[in-house]
Amino acid sequence: MAFRSALSLLTRRTRWRGIRAIWYNEKGVSAVEFALIAPLMVLIYFGFIELSLLMRVDQRVSSTASSLGDLTARLVTVSDADMQELFNAASVTMQPYTAETARMRITSVVDNGNGETRVAWSDGYNIVAYTPDTLITVPNGLVPSPGSVIVAEVEFEYESTLGVVLDASQTLKDVFYLRPRRVTQIARSTDADPATGFGPAS
């Protein structure tokens, strides 16, 4: 009887030690923690990569819009050949991304002294140009009365090459307003040459 009691006590002690051993056993804890955290770390890592690429494209869009507005504002009269040169400049600024997939528009907005801002002329690539003499809204204080301002717009559809976080196309756009440098209002002339104009050389 005493032997059975001792054996029962020993069994309970052994069982308790086994439970304590399991409770205090920390082997493999790091592996479990890593397995739980690793997917989140990978997601954050790829998210930072995609965000940096998106910011790089956005900088290209802003630089292209700024360059188009600045180069146009330096002219006195804009011809079709000038518009083609402006597109070539945009192609260089957009590199390593292609400007042929972007949407670009250059518009001359004029105020004849009556406080109304209207379209004098407009050229667009992959986007509809504004109709001349159409009322257009611009931020207050940008167009002198009388006077004019050049509006350069660029839009670009960015699709991530990774597609982990940004799985949908992102529309990046920017608008720049610049006053003419040499004249009050920049004129627009056309030469009726289909090989020239705002776009790539045909």
pLDDT tens column, 125-151 = 999 999 999 999 999 889 988 999 999
Instruction: Decide if pLDDT at 178 tops 80.
Output: yes
What is the DSSP secondary-structure string of 11-26? HHHHHHHHHHHHHH--
Per cent of the chain over pLDDT 90 is: 44
Mean pLDDT, range 67-78, rounded to an integer: 94
Q: Which two tokens stand for residue 33?
A: 């923690």
| H or E element at residue 178 | strand 170-178
- pLDDT for residue 29: 62
Return d(Cα 83, Cα 30) in angstroms, integer: 63
Q: Which residues does 109 contact at the CB level (< 8 Å), separation at least 6?
A: 117, 118, 119, 120, 136, 138, 143, 148, 149, 150, 151
The answer to whether residue 7 scores a pLDDT higher than 60 is no
76 vs 161, residue with greater confidence: 76
Whether 118 has a pLDDT exceeding 90, the answer reads yes
Average pLDDT over residues 56-65: 93
Q: Where are the alpha helices (DSSP H) in 74-136?
A: 80-94
Contact 58, 172 (CB under 8 A): yes
Question: What is the pLDDT confidence band of residue 21, given thresholds at 50, 70 and 90?
Answer: low
**Confidence check: pLDDT of 19 > 80:** no
Across the strands, what pairs with 158? 170
Place 169 in a pLDDT band, splitting at 50, 70 and 90. confident
Q: How many CB atoms lie within 10 A of CB 76?
A: 11
Give the model's pLDDT for residue 183.
Answer: 93
Name the band, by pLDDT with cuts 50, 70 and 90, for residue 47.
confident
In this predicted structure, what is the pLDDT of residue 198? 76
> What is residue 18's predicted lDDT score, i.e. its pLDDT?
54
Q: How far apart are CA 171 and CA 159, in angstroms?
A: 9
Q: What is the per-residue pLDDT for 11?
A: 57
Tokens 């009322």 identify what position? 135
| Average pLDDT across the chain, whole number | 82
Range list of β-strands (E), 42-169: 77-78, 103-111, 117-125, 147-158
Above 60 in pLDDT, residue 36?
A: yes
